[in-house]
Amino acid sequence: MAVDIKFDANQQYQRDAIDSVVELFAGQESMQQGVAVPGFGDEGTLESFQELVFGNSLALAPETVRTNLRRIQDRTIELEDGSVVPSVAEPLRRALESGEMPLEFSVEMETGTGKTYVYLRTIAELHRQYGFNKFVIVVPSVAIREGVLSSLKLLREHIRDIYDGLQYDYYVYESNALTRVRQFATASHLQIMVINIAAMTGDANNRVIHRPTDAMNGYAPIEFLRACRPVVIMDEPQSLDGPTQKPAIDELQPLFRVAYSATPPTEKSGLPKAHLVYRLTPVDAYAARLVKRIGVLSITKDADLNEAYVEISKINATPTGVTATAIIHKATRQGTKPTRVTLRKDDDLFELSGRRDLYQGWAVEDIHAEAGVVEFGNGRKVAAGSSTSEADEQQLRLMLRQAIESHFEKELQLLLQKRRGQISARIKPLTLFFIEKVDHYAPEDAKLRVWFEEEYARLLGDGRFRALTMPAVEDVHDGYFAVTARGVAKEARPDSKDAADAFERIMQKKEELLGFDEPLRFIFSHSALAEGWDNPNVFTICNLQDGKSTMRKRQQVGRGLRLPVMENGERCHVEEVNLLTVIAKESFSTFASALQKEIEEETGVAFTGRVVNLREKKKLRLKEEVLGSPLFAQLWERISPRTSYKLHFSSDDVVGDAVKRINALPDLEPVKFRVSKDVVEMGAAGLTGSDLRDRGAMKLESERKMPDVVGELCRRLPLSRATIVRILRECDRLDQVTRNPAVFIDEVAESINQALYNQLTDGIVYEPAGESWSVDLFRERHQDETVAPRVVPVEKSVTDHVVCDSDVEERFAQFLDKRVDVPLFVKLPEWFKIPTPLGNYNPDWAFVREETVGQFLYLVRETKGGPDIEKLRFEAEGWKIKFGEAHFNALKVDYFFGHDPEVLVELSPDYPAS
């Protein structure tokens, strides 16, 4: 049975990304059902069509968009070191030129953090707030297209629940189904079309999208699309940036474009090609634990100087001839060493190697540039990207063995963690293999298939894994490749229909793969899964490609970065679980430096120290002598009681606080509107939509349609309609709603939210629940080892090392361990949770400080990068800290947060004297 993935609508970083696009158009009044675009025929019709095209319209003046853009980019975030910086740094900002059309914006999000989810939610939000109803998602490949279609299907119910029953139609553009284009253009409700860029490029005379057809009443599909002035979403814009691709997208005459990518395209200067409005870098995602950590298990081989080693790196075809770049083992005065040489026809490796006898007969017979093969006089042929080493196959088999063993270890770890209660439901892990050629796996006697079944059978009999119930070998693995008409696996170009069919098969099984009813756990793929597909439960990735793989490291690990999904459909946030293992053919340092270099080249952000070496696991010894000590017992007795909470606040207090905040807001500036008439021109050139650059503009100073302010606030806030009406009546700024309704609603909603949360923190009452966290959980849920990058050796804690999440935590652990007046401290485990109205909260530290001889203070602290709670990157963090303070006040335990160890070690200045 497939697992129904539960989507979290309240992840702050995703909300920030959505709002960063939506708020660009603050001041735009809602179009309701969109703009009807008539032709020159009878009133309300298109000439010869007898129907309306419903499209989008933007009435904001460029200076208003410019002001909104600057406001969004100026939002501040707090870094790990406590510094506060703009969310988009000045060097990454483009100037918004006067008359710039179409507007293009960019959202940068690390792979695995929900980029597709964010832009589909953004589409729904833009439709709800402004009435935009026509969206075209442009993708660079079939693989990504199928992934988007899968998300549109999966998220339909989720979006309907969030947006009061909102429905949308979605289509894929296909040249043999042009009626979908008509449906897209003429429907008055939310429409989403997904189109592969290949359908829009190439010879214009051969592209169906540009060809007039009877099915479209003599007009071309592109003419219907451009008449709608669609909002264009570009998925992976760095692959849509070619000389033919951007002009093709421009032909859609988009209202504006928004590009979503982990690696957005940049100018040579490093400046983004679009206006960057939101940025979540790999370091941000890693630090916030929004993706899995990355561990590397290296399988390297020593050079065997006892064989005639020939590795063909590449073949070079030039007008002057064909050569091959090769590596051989050459005798030198310093010994025999791997040496790079250039080979030409008739070259003798015996001579080039320093006359080593092993190379007798290794003369270059021919270099076949088209086939990519070098042929030698002894009959041997070596393909570009491969070598003669017999150790290569041994290495591939060892990599495959280690991948299967890593999978078994993960299965066992997850089983034990479920039994111990560390995870709330089972998790089924998956392993992904990338292979060089289909025939290395597909035939029944293929080497990878045979090796896999032998190694899997061997591990089934391994006593270490006797607690596992694993599927039969014939059910546990499968390949996803293009197939012939007879069902035989074959090679296929990534953008071919055959590859699309292969991709569709595994996309259809994406949710099934998460369930235990589906025995498949090991997936072999050639090219179909190199992009566009990922699965949250991929925990092991192994690249078995024989030659020098062209797959970039970041692309490779991207298939398994998402946080895993448990059997109950919920994401798992347990750090010990969330580790992606990469089986690498090179050393850890080589792999890590290559990945770090790619990330730094693509994002400009250093990723040093974030990838861990799985061969360097650190042991974590549980210190029973500390756990059983009287001092720990005294600390635990004070901080371990569990609580429940009740909320006590009056609507009068919320109203009063909200009114005070609203009245303190600065006056709003009126919005300047551009008004244009979108007309479909009918003539010899075909059907074309209006272009705002070519139309006159005027300021709209008089009446306009007002949005339902109360209804909009009711949708955004958990308050009754009567309370919201009362706030609006009692505030002194209601007259300003006519100046800029959208911004007024945003500011009022934010003020009421702040007032509500303030009243919650003031009115929340925690009471002991009559039970406590058991000290035995330290033993039952202890992890014997870790691959976390920040592990601090300590003397005064319950373990001999403390795992830290940041530089701030690392410094605090070292500080406490050195303090002579701190005999004991604990990094509170992730299972130590405090209930709050915003979800559970896990505080950082508990410690004992000796104030005078024999007199101890028992303290709990939260460490953050700075002292200002209002500047925490994610708003919910600050509120949880305030709720945590109320919890510990109920237990009469001193608690507060900060970043300076010298301050944190002292009593809180506002802690009530006991």
Task: For residues 817 and 863, state if they share a domain.
Answer: yes
Amino acid at 204: A
Q: Which pLDDT belongs to residue 367?
A: 95
Look at residues 765, 792, 819 and tell me which one is the last residue of a structural domain: 765
In a domain, 274, yes or no: yes
Task: For residues 594 and 664, state if they share a domain.
Answer: no
Task: For residues 535 and 612, state if they share a domain.
Answer: yes
Q: What are the angstrom distances between the C-alpha of 374 and each of 311, 344, 479, 882?
A: 10, 10, 31, 69
Among residues 635, 667, 649, which one has the least CA distance to residue 825? 635
In a domain, 304, yes or no: no
Task: For residues 347 and 421, state if they share a domain.
Answer: no
Between 686 and 121, the more confident residue is 121
Burial 756-780 (b: 16+ CB within 10 A, else e): bbbbbbeebebeeeeeebeeebbee
Task: For residues 396 and 379, state if they share a domain.
Answer: no
In a domain, 689, yes or no: no
Among residues 621, 661, 654, which one has the least CA distance to residue 794? 621
pLDDT digits (tens, 9 = 90+) for 830-857: 899 999 887 789 999 999 999 887 789 9
Mean pLDDT of the chain: 83
| Residues constituting the chain | 914
Lowest-confidence segment of 55-64, 196-205, 353-362 by average pLDDT = 196-205
For the record, the structure tokens of 3 come out as: 């697992």
Task: For residues 333 and 381, state if they share a domain.
Answer: yes
The whole-angstrom separation of Cα 433 and Cα 524 is: 5
Task: For residues 332 and 200, state if they share a domain.
Answer: no
The whole-angstrom separation of Cα 521 and Cα 206 is: 43
Helix, strand or coil, per DSSP, at residue 793: strand
The domain tally of the chain equals: 5
Among residues 844, 792, 843, which one has the least CA distance to residue 813? 792
In a domain, 466, yes or no: yes
Between 75 and 528, the more confident residue is 75
CATH number, position 489:
3.40.50
Contact call for residues 846 and 834 (beta carbons, < 8 A): no
Strands of 252-406, DSSP E: 256-261, 275-280, 293-298, 310-318, 321-332, 335-343, 364-368, 373-376, 381-383, 386-387
In a domain, 21, yes or no: no
Task: For residues 121 and 234, state if they share a domain.
Answer: yes
Predicted TM-score (pTM) of this structure: 0.69
Q: What percent of the chain is predicted at pLDDT more than 90?
A: 43
Find the mean pLDDT for residues 158-184.
91
Q: Is 251 exposed, middle or buried (0-12, 13-18, 19+ CB in 10 A)?
A: middle
Among residues 824, 820, 857, 826, which one has the least CA distance to residue 843? 826
Look at residues 332, 357, 387 and tell me which one is the last residue of a structural domain: 387
Q: Which pLDDT belongs to residue 179?
A: 87
Q: What percent of the chain is predicted at pLDDT more than 70?
A: 82
In a domain, 3, yes or no: no
Find the mean pLDDT for residues 728-742.
85
Task: For residues 660 and 792, state if they share a domain.
Answer: no
pLDDT digits (tens, 9 = 90+) for 33-43: 555 554 423 33
What domain range is 107 assigned to? Answer: 42-76+101-280
Contact call for residues 92 and 104 (beta carbons, < 8 A): no
Task: For residues 412 and 531, state if they share a domain.
Answer: yes
pLDDT digits (tens, 9 = 90+) for 123-144: 999 999 999 999 999 999 888 8
In a domain, 289, yes or no: no
Task: For residues 491 and 630, state if they share a domain.
Answer: no
The whole-angstrom separation of Cα 728 and Cα 738 is: 14
Strands of 636-698, DSSP E: 641-647, 681-683, 686-688
Q: What are phi and psi of 550, to 5 degrees?
A: -90, -5
CATH number, position 900:
3.40.1350
The whole-angstrom separation of Cα 904 and Cα 867 is: 11
The whole-angstrom separation of Cα 897 and Cα 786 is: 27
Between 509 and 659, the more confident residue is 659
In a domain, 356, yes or no: yes
Look at residues 387, 419, 452 and tell me which one is the last residue of a structural domain: 387
Q: Which pLDDT belongs to residue 854?
A: 77
- As a whole number of Å, the CA-based R_g of the chain is 31
pLDDT digits (tens, 9 = 90+) for 349-373: 999 999 888 899 999 999 999 888 9
Burial 466-495 (b: 16+ CB within 10 A, else e): eeeebeeeeebbbbbbbbeeeeebeebebe
pLDDT digits (tens, 9 = 90+) for 860-891: 999 987 666 665 655 667 888 889 999 999 99
Task: For residues 723 and 636, state if they share a domain.
Answer: no
Helical H runs in 228-370? 245-250, 282-287, 349-352
